Structure 1
């Protein structure tokens, strides 16, 4: 419960920039004394800066909290998609996990029940999730650190990719637009994702249904360049028909319908 409360405080401060102690108590359902104790702990960890009567996020915490906020979006769908993706893993194979928040859920699933694998990733959070697991050999791709996504990108990362071949690639996307292409928010991320797809025997797109018909500026590749899509059953029927026409095998994981 403390972890949930801390997370709520962080997300509230990320969304609002500053909040009074009373406001945080109401947002979390905790007492003012408890909130003050939490804020003291967060300040010691360098996450927040306390002010008279309230707190704001510390400067260096902004990018990390932006990432953590996205981790929480559609979390039920991301976890269900990760469970389905876990079922595709083959022991003693070499896989690449990109830096997306849905792929991060696959890393967390793998931590619960490790499989003997060689794992490559450009995601700092993904690599941290897989620390100290005896069955895994974890390799972190180098390059320029993109703070917004806690990912390594750039020409050096792409050159390193050219030295490897992966049995499976699990990647996310910011959006799948009406032209049936994957899009992302950063040109270097888009370029690296294209290089990933070119270096694998099986590319699996992990994307919850909210990503379809969303928008982002930088094209990655057609969804037909992936070998499988795992999404959730809230996917619009027209999109499901479209993916069938494109001959992309699609797994719809079951979720309750939104109210």
Structure 2
């Protein structure tokens, strides 16, 4: 027969285990999405160019941007053609925040970059914006083999994170992929910038192919059903047509 003291200690251990278990369940209940284990992130930089300087800025960048790309990995560089005007958009890849900090410090010490590119470019830039985003766990970055145009669709969801809207959103994206009219390049969840925001980057052969594919998708019952479910969590969305620069890795 168990002694009274041992019985109390045993009950105490059981009680403590139950408390820890309840705590773990609570954390799982309130988690906002899968744990981020990959430290790799992407910086989205958008520059608004003075309208009268757009042509000059493009020429200057085409000729001198190699002074910037030698320092870190450029994923894509684009001009916004439809949905916005006089803007350029670039995506940079970093292994972690320490790497980005070190690269930014080297850039400040690089005379070629500072004097041959940045000094003149800054006189033509009206505004700069930066966001940090991670690829969502269920998506890998894909690089189309052929040249084409890109569509960046930005979704602003209701607060709560992927735990609230993640499954419905993934289903909606998957149905568009399965129609075959477009190619998914990447899905990015914003970490610094507007929260509950997701950027989806698509590739199409041309704007006309994209338009024809969208009309076809809107008649697909699977797409209609999935989109109808996901928009319950949506606040707004915006899209822009991107044309890659000659030096852009994403062509």
TM-score band, normalised by the shorter chain? under 0.3
Rg comparison, structure with higher value: 2
In the superposition, the TM-score normalised over structure 2's length comes to 0.25
In the superposition, the TM-score normalised over structure 1's length comes to 0.25
Higher relative contact order by CA 8 Å / sep ≥ 6: 1 or 2? 2
More strand by share: 2
